[in-house]
Homo-oligomer: A and B are copies of this chain.
Amino acid sequence: MAVVLGPNRYGKAETRVVRVTRDGEAHHLKDCNVSVSLSGDMEEVHRRGDNAAVLPTDSQKNTVYAFAKKHGIGEIEEFALLLARHFVGSQPAIHHARVEVEEYAWERRGPHSFARSGAEVRTCVVHHDRDGTTTVVSGLRDLVVLNSTGSEFHGFVQDEYTTLPPATDRVLATAVTARWRHVPPDGGEPYDHGKSYEEVRRCLLDAFAGTYSLSLQQTLFAMGERVLLTRPEICEVRLELPNKHHFLVDLSPFGLDNDNEVYFAADRPYGLIEGAVAHDDAPPAGPAWD
């Protein structure tokens, strides 16, 4: 019986880079948070502290900044791919790179003045392996949405611990975390990740708003399906939807009715619905979701 090293990775997390591009009077801004994770020939460093195969996480941070200068930061998926290919391509001991980028949105307030727009964050995770395979997952988090009607919940299992009454008109609210996996490119023209992001986001919002919901699971599936049926570049969608409960307040002790008007927005506990929706012919995901 021996002790073995299992799956492992290391890197620099949360390098905060802001890239300004000057276009005459007008400036453009990209504000990102980059996390790199590398893996490969790491037996010796774990067993003996021999760092001969270790590219310091400090160098990874430097690379992020240098690449931001040399290549600019276009769509975050492309920036992540540049970095991932660089680490695997330049370091023989690095067999695999995972690069995650978060982007914070700003709206223009002047030629070189900006205001953060929204709590919502655009995300991507890219994997690149020395065997040449690459996976790209785009996403968003902290997109908070609410339907004030058009949601029911009934017909559920009644066990000995069930006290929930059926609901025929309830508030449905969630903070969407969505990630979607791209069909691997076929060698043709790369498509526009910025446009793809906007369109997927619209699909998610429209499906949430437009689905008459009998359960949050149904809404989840509808959101994923809408993306898959609309956007051919996407083969799988994964969603995490906390059910942000809004409880109708009992106002009867005060001689008041409450016809779905006054709600208590609860913190915890909350329902949590997680699920994947995919094309049946989606290629294998490999490490895409790691």
Which A residues are closer than 8 A to B by beta carbons? Answer: 1-22, 27, 29, 31, 35, 37, 42, 45-63, 65-66, 68-70, 90-91, 93, 106, 109-110, 112-119, 143-150, 153-157, 159-164, 171, 205, 208-210, 213-218, 220-221, 224-225, 228-229, 236, 238, 242-243, 246, 249, 251, 253-254, 256, 258, 260-281
Contacts and interface: CB of A to CB of B under 8 A. Distances in A.
B145 A69 contact: no
Contact of A276 (B8, B263, B269): B8
Given A10-B217, A114-B148, 10 more contacts: A4-B280, A6-B277, A12-B270, A20-B148, A49-B217, A58-B163, A60-B161, A66-B251, A112-B149, A116-B118
Contacts of A31: 265
Contacts of A112: 147-150
B149 A62 contact: no
Contacts of A70: 256
A18 B172 CA distance: 12
A55 B18 CA distance: 27
A228 B3 contact: yes
B154 A51 contact: yes
A154 to B, nearest CB: 7
A101 to B, nearest CB: 13
A56 to B, nearest CB: 5
13 contacts: A7-B276, A8-B274, A9-B274, A10-B274, A14-B270, A49-B215, A56-B153, A62-B163, A68-B261, A112-B149, A114-B147, A116-B143, A116-B145
A286 to B, nearest CB: 15
A144 to B, nearest CB: 4
A137 to B, nearest CB: 14
A3 B279 contact: yes
A91 B86 CA distance: 51
A145 B113 contact: yes
A251 B6 CA distance: 37
Contacts of A60: 161
Contacts of A254: 62, 66, 160-161
Contact of A14 (B18, B117, B268): B268
A267 B267 contact: yes
Contact of A109 (B17, B209, B225): B209
Given A114-B145, A269-B14, A159 B49 contact: no
Nearest to A66: B254
A157 B54 contact: yes
A62 B162 contact: yes
Central interface residue in A14, A68, A154, A273, by most chain B CB within 10 Å:
A273
A275 B8 contact: yes
Contacts of A149: 27, 112
